[in-house]
């Protein structure tokens, strides 16, 4: 399967505003891209703005620019090879095994800790009361996701960028990031490493959603020595998750960060299965 991905957004900024852009496809999916992964940035006069890149502490690729002031357009377009299969689910006992914190790789331990949007100290008792009777492993992890999906109501009108996992628990509503923050926090309370993920997720293999396309959030849990995708909002294995960035929570994977005055004026995202007749150019460019 081939999936077309991309975005086109504009910001209005004051002169000389530095910005970080976490808009690249994750390094783990670079080999699947049919074209070079480029973030294009243009000033309002059409001149290209240079983009410097670096890799953050979580292994995400990040761009850096200095906006000259006025309108800045940021865009990219690409096509990704994908298996076309839904999210993998652990099958064997080894894959479903939840390791003790004492046996986890050192780099995984950070995903058991509190973070900006996941305040574990206020959720520990509730997590163990709800799920402590279940055996550690995939069944308990899935029970958390099942519970969050049933507990919370999704709605774009409920979006609030400051909402934490504790507030998501008490308010029982939010957008995809809030579902994932609550899942992540409850998993960590149960000593299951969990990290927040952002990326593309189109309506592939599911009924069409007429709402404007957006980037999506999901999360991953660490079982049997690897990470597995889970999703508190979309309560079924999905096709076509294209990873962009991972971190402890949404604070680590902000798509754009500006260090000065500016605001978003346009935002369009594309993620859809590519038609066979549209692939010729992309395959030629690969």
pLDDT at 74: 98
pLDDT at 214: 92
Q: Which of 51-55, 154-158, 196-200, 210-214 has the lowest mean pLDDT?
A: 210-214
β pairing state of 216-223 and 194-201: antiparallel
pLDDT at 210: 86
- Closest CA relative to residue 184, chosen from 238, 243, 229, 242: 229
Query: Quick one: what percent of the chain has pLDDT higher than 70?
Result: 97
| CB 202 within 8 Å of CB 118 | no
Q: Give, as one character, the DSSP assignment of residue 184.
A: H
pLDDT in tens, 27-60: 999 999 999 999 999 999 999 999 999 999 999 9
Q: Which of 179-183, 195-199, 203-207 has the lowest mean pLDDT?
A: 203-207
Q: Residue 239 and residue 225: Cα distance in Å, rounded? A: 23
Q: For tokens 């995202």, what's the residue?
A: 269
Rounded mean pLDDT, 184-200: 98
For residue 100, pLDDT beyond 70: yes
What size, in residues, is the chain? 286
For residue 284, pLDDT beyond 90: no
DSSP one-letter string for 67-103: E-SEEEEEEEEEEEE---PBPP---SHHHH----GGG
Buried b (16+ CB within 10 A) or exposed e, 191-212: ebbbbbbbbbbbbbeeeeeeee
């Amino acid at each position: 399967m081939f999936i077309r991905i991309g975005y086109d957004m504009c910001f209005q900024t004051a002169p000389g505003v530095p910005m970080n852009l976490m808009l690249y496809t994750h390094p783990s999916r670079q080999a699947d891209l049919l074209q070079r992964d480029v973030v294009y940035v243009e000033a309002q006069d059409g001149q290209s703005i240079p983009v410097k890149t670096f890799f953050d502490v979580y292994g995400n690729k990040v761009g850096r620019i200095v906006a000259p002031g006025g309108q800045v357009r940021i865009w990219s377009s690409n096509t990704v090879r994908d298996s076309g299969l839904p999210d993998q689910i652990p099958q064997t006992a080894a894959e479903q095994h939840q390791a003790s914190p004492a046996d986890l790789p050192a780099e995984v331990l950070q995903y058991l800790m509190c973070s900006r949007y996941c305040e574990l100290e206020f959720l520990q008792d509730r997590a163990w009361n709800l799920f402590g009777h279940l055996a550690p492993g995939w069944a308990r992890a899935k029970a958390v996701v099942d519970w969050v999906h049933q507990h919370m109501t999704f709605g774009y009108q409920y979006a609030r960028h400051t909402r934490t996992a504790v507030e998501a628990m008490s308010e029982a509503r939010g957008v995809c990031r809030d579902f994932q923050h609550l899942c992540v926090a409850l998993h960590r309370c149960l000593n299951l490493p969990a990290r927040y993920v952002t990326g593309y997720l189109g309506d592939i293999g599911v009924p069409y959603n007429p709402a404007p396309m957006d980037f999506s959030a999901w999360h991953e849990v660490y079982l049997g020595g690897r990470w597995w995708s889970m999703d508190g909002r979309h309560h079924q294995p999905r096709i076509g998750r294209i990873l962009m960035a991972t971190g402890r929570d949404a604070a680590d994977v902000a798509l754009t960060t500006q260090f000065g005055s500016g605001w978003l004026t346009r935002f369009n995202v594309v993620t859809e299965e590519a038609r066979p007749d549209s692939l010729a150019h992309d395959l030629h460019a690969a």
